[in-house]
Structure formats: structure tokens, C-alpha cells
Chains A and B, each alone.
Chain A
Amino acid sequence: MTSDTMTRPSARGRALLLPAALLFMAMALTLVASPAAGQQNPAFTADTDPRVGLEAGWTDAEEASWNMNLLVNLPRPDGFYNPETPGDGRFSNTDMGFQGNLAFVGNYHGFNIYDISDPANPVLRTSVVCPGGQGDLSVFGDLVFMSAQETRGRLDCGTQGVEETVSDERFRGVRIFDISDLDSPQQVAAIQTCRGSHTHTLVTDPNDLETLYVYNSGTSGSRSGEELEGCVDVRDPDDPTTAYWSIDVIRVPLATPEQAELIDSPRVFADDATGRIAGLWQGGDHGDGTQSTRDTNMCHDITAYPEIGLAAGACSGNGILFDISNPAVPVRVDEVVDPNFAYWHSATFNNDGTKVIFTDEWGGGGAPRCLATDQPEWGANAIFDIVDGKMQLASYYKLPAPQSELENCVAHNGSLVPVPGRDIKVQAWYQGGVSVFDFTDTANPYEIAFFDRGPLSDEELHTGGYWSTYWYNGHVYGSEISRGLDVLELVPSDYLSENELAAARLVQFHEFNPQHQPAMHWPADMVVARAYFDQLVRNDGLSRDRATEVAAQMDRIDAMPAGAEKRAELSELAVQLWADARAVDQGAAGDAERIRRLAGGLLDVAGAQR
């Protein structure tokens, strides 16, 4: 199907007599033809977007922001940058993990721990030197996990590198540190792998709290069997011993992490019928005018969502769904290809596990791939609905503002912003900055906030910009490759209300590793119901008069002391709203689904009253 299906005159505004979900579905038909990236910022076009044409500078670039503020920037500490140039890849900041009041920021040179008790004033707590790249981090209890992939990586964290082709001192794989003493993290284990560790993912087993699993994604060339037994550096899928076409599963006994070991390298890309280990995308394009996609012999990154028993693997040539109900044995349950994707890079589920976003790192992250001339479906996010366990493409989302040729830019890492009733993601786009977008309607994602700086230099392209931007306990943290740690806050706007933001801030995690995605639950709080109310009103889901009545009722009840009477009043208001929704089901104007969501929010609060 093509876009001209949508050019017919719009429907004559007839009232449709069905639940809002259906009305919504029918309306979506007029908005979406084939999945494509259309206008994705409701306020700006490429001509008016303030991100276009920002002045360059390493520490003093011009900035533009919309619906979010930069609270503070903390440059990389001494020893973690090269004063001569912002683009020295040996000191790039990378991925982040969070625990309590601490942010752990990876770096090719080691990692830095920040105290973020006061998010507007983060304080460097500890710098740990241990080169090897990428330095992606996860934190779990007293343990920090770190990816090392480069040949200069050393078992002893030394900075001198390794000269020899084959060396006992080389380390490529997953390091495990004990951080019970934050001042002196101790390396307790270092699990060598054939292709090193580009990224890794923690996977918990709901049925076994004593054991942690780590899925390791190695993307570099394999080392030889002489250096690490069992490694066969042969890119031949017919050789059953090849180090390619697998992922690694590491088991970590939490009581004795030093006994962590590689337990399997499953052939997760194998053809189900023939058993051929190179069973998925073979590499190459998808026909005329399509992108050339890398072959699937590795995953780049895997996002596990243990509470729904699924993981999404961004695996070079394919997007894959794994059943991880037994974490030791991931089982592929679905895979997709995409004619616009060059390299499947990372993944994020929505909170209820019905959608998954995959990113395409076209150009590898070092290239300017957000030019005005670049296709908006390339180097973008692809948004999929998960229908009966199968992924179905709904649309693409790409940073809506074109960037210059001096800015490396492509879809990169992000996380959910926990606004109840909506699916919102905050995402890093390297020098494209940070973009916050709503994908509640998978077919029509749109931007609701952004922050961007000009290029690092107006003379040459230095690789820089945001590696990751994550929402953590009320703030957005940005790991800027060459400018350090940024802390940002979202501000209320037409697209995000005060109540929605307050509700989002109620979600507090003790620990957060974005590739180990946690389910978000909102406490039974009136502000959550108010967030639903704001969404209802924003979508014209309740008549103005009725909305005013309901708002007054909510104010009145909110002011009541906790107790049985308040409980009864909340329940009664929910009953009334349920009847409103019923009337909508039977033909009245309104948004029955959002009315019921509001009623449910009130019932949650009622249930918390005794």
C-alpha cells in the first residue's frame, strides 16, 4: 500500500459508535499509509527548528532546547580526556548504569562514579582507570560489570596495552568489579570471550535469586585459539567450531562472583529447520533502492525484560525476540529484517511489552547520518507492535532536525520516561543531541522535547555527542562522549503536563541498567489519576462540562483525610466515570478507554485508603 490511499477527502465526521480504541484505530487509517517517517515534531519544521545552524564549540557550543533544560554539565575528569582534542577515542564516554544516588559512567579508559544526590550538582566520587573499550557498564548489588573489547585491554587494567599477538595478559570480555568499597573497586572476575565484549546485558531469573546471567555481545574479530582455547577465527558458517554466529551466556553465582564463567555460546541465529548456524540475514540489500544490511553473525546489543520473559536482540542484520524464561537458554521466537536498516543496534520495549523500538546505527556512529538529504527512514528507530509474539513494523522515528556534516549523528541509546498512560522515550543521537518522543501510537510517533548543542568543531568532524541519555528517578542523564556528564530535566508543556511529570517522578528504582529493563509501576497516588485526567482532556475524550465537574470532584476528594469515607467517594466517582465510558461505547462522543483509565487510577487510590 502506498500513501495515495490516504489522499481521499477525510471522513465526514460521522460519529462512530464504538469504544475509543476502535475509533482510534479507524482514525489511524487516515493518518498512516505505509510505515514512513513524516513530520515528527508538532511545533517545528526543518526551516524553523532552533537546532539547525547552532554555533560550534567543544565546551562553549551554542545550545537549543525545547521543553527540557540542561541543569548542569560536568566535563570528564583529568586523565579521562585529551586536552588537545575532543575527538580522542581512547577517552570517549560511553554507557551508564545507576544505583541509588550513584551514576556509573563508562569510558574507553575506565569508568567514573558520580554522586547524584543533588542532580543539579553531581559530584565525582571515584575514577577507575582500566582501559579496553567500550566500557559499557551495568551495576548489580555490589557488582559492576564492564565490557572490554579492544586488543589493548589487559587483565590487570594496565594502561600500557599488549604488544604481542598472543598474550596471557590480554583481556577481552566482561570484567566484574566488587564496589562494596566505592573508593577502591576490586576486580573479582574477568571472563574472557573470543570476540571480546562490545556490550553486555544482565538477565535475572525470577525463579533463582542466587544466580545472575550476563548475555555478552562480541562484535569484533575473534582472537585465535592460541590465546583463548576454543576460539576459532574462521568466518565459515559450515565450520561448527567457528567463533562467529553466536552470543555468550555467562553465569554469575552472586555469593561467589569470582566463580563466574562462560557456560554457553548458543547458536541463536541457526535455521530452525536445517540447523545451519547462519540461518538469518545473509547480508546485502533488499532490492532496488533499499539499504544494504550487515549479515547476522552477532548481536550488537540485547535488551532483556525479565518480567515479561522476553529479550529483544539487535543483531546486526536482524531484530530478534528471545524467550528468556529460562535465562540460561535463550530461545529465538521471532525475527525481522528491515529494508531501511543498515545495522540493528539496540532495543527498548514499552512498559507493557506490546511494542519494541529498534535502532539502526547506520554509519556506525562516527558518521553524519542526519543530513537534510538523508532518508528519514535510514539511521532511525523502527517501531514494532508485538502481536501474538510476532513483531509487526508500525513506523519509523528519526531525529526531526537535520544536523550538519560536522556532526556524527544516528539513532542511539535511550530509555523510557515513566509517564503513566503513555509510551515515551528519551534518546541520544550523538551530536544530534537528545530527543524525547511519544510512541503511544506506534504508527505516529512525535517529538515532545529536545536539547542539542552545535558541533564540536566548525572545521572537522570529531566523534562526539550523546552516547546515551536515560531517565533515572526524575532526571535525564546524558553521557556525552567528549563533554562529560549532563543532567537535564523535562519541563511541563502542551505535550507533557505538570501532573504527568509528577507521576513520572514517582517511579523510583533502586537500581537501573537500561538493557535490563524493569517493569514500571506507579504508586496509588492522586497525581497518577490526574495525569490520566490531563491525557483525557488533551485528547478531547470528555466533554468540557463533564471534565470541569470531574476536576472539581477530584479536588474535593483529594483534600479529604485518608480513610473509609475518602475510599467510598473515590469509588463512587469511578462508578460515575465508568458509566460515562459506557455511554461512549454506545455512541456518545468521547474516549472510553481513557475515561476508564482515569476511573482505574481513582480506584487505585481508593484501594489504598482504609
Chain B
Amino acid sequence: MTNSDRRHGVLPALAAGLGLLILGACASAPDQETEVQAVPANYHPGAPGEEGRTLSAEELGLSADLPHTDDDVRFMQNMIHHHAQALEMTALVPERTRRADVVQLSQRIEATQVDEILLMQRWLERRGEEVPVVELRYADLRITPRGAEARGDHHAGHTEHAGHDHDLHEGMAGMLTPEQFQQLEDARNEEFDRLFLEFMISHHQGAVLMSQELFRSPAG
């Protein structure tokens, strides 16, 4: 196969399309003020049977976002803590198991949980809601909407320690109690594998329960 590398910026193609003035506006930073006189009819239809009308340039604005509810926000915040504990559990794995498949499984869980924590943090941030920052002791990880990195010394904002010494979210479905977490931390080899899988399954079942509750809430 002879792949010819044709990397180039988008500008040449845009230049070719300069018949549309709006292109000039977007080719660089779109947040610059631009003239919109060349924008063709920006039409706003009415309900069936009703006349519509053309919008003026001033009327071009953003439309309503989808509403979110307090239940949505609470779900997101709780789920971040929930995910965080899963990460503390997976952090225990390398030193406590002898099974490659358990290691693989834990790595897989780790990858998706970090992704999803970021997704949820950013969702909250966009909507101006409080964003729990995740500080993980065992996983040595700090997760903020900007990304995940090795933990430093400083703590900021509402941080989350999801290990066994924190009982803030004990009430959430599937969360390990401090005793259970200690049990897991103390276990080794086959005993650890068994507990890890058992706890992880009930942990995930809890997350499913939380989601189902959200679905049952009015606008969830």
C-alpha cells in the first residue's frame, strides 16, 4: 500500500471557497466579531399553517438548551464518587493477585472509569454545577475536568477520597463499607480475587440501581 501523506491545513480549501464571506470569519477564531451581511436568508418558519419570517442578524442567537434537573446533577455527582471507589479497588489489584486475567480486567475497568469520570465532570462544569474533584489515595491519581494526573500534595475544591476511611457516600448502592474495603485490602491471592470480583459486581449492580432510579425520576 502506498499511502501518500497529504497533510495540510484547512486554509487552502477554505480560501477556495471564499465566495462565502462567512468562511473568512470561521477560518480563524470564530469568536471574533464578523459581519454577517452575506448570510443568506436565515429563515424561521412558524407552526404548521402559520407564516414564518426571516431573522435579522441580531436575532441570530443560541436556542434553549435542554433543561436538566437537580436529580440529574445529583446523579452525576454521586456517580463520580461511585466510580472513584472502583478506581481505589482496582489500584489494590497488582500487589494482591497472581492472575493475569484479574489484572487485565482491572485495567479495563480503570480505563473506562477514568473516561467516564471526566465525561461527568465536564457535563457538570458546562452547566455551572459543582464538580467533585477526585483525589485517589491508592490509585495515586487526581482527576479534574482537565484530565487525570498523578496526585500532588495540594488539595483543592470539594475533593473525594474514595478509600475505606471515608464514609461520606456510604449510603450509595453498591459502595463498599470501610470494613469491606479493609477486608479487600488485607486479602491476598485467591481470597483477594474472589472478594475483588464479588465486590466489583455488587458495586456495578449498585450503579445500575442508581441509574434506574434516575430513569424513574420525572425528567430523567
Asked if A and B form a direct contact in the complex, defined as CB atoms under 8 angstroms apart, the reply is no
B residues with CB within 8 A of A: none
A residues with CB within 8 A of B: none
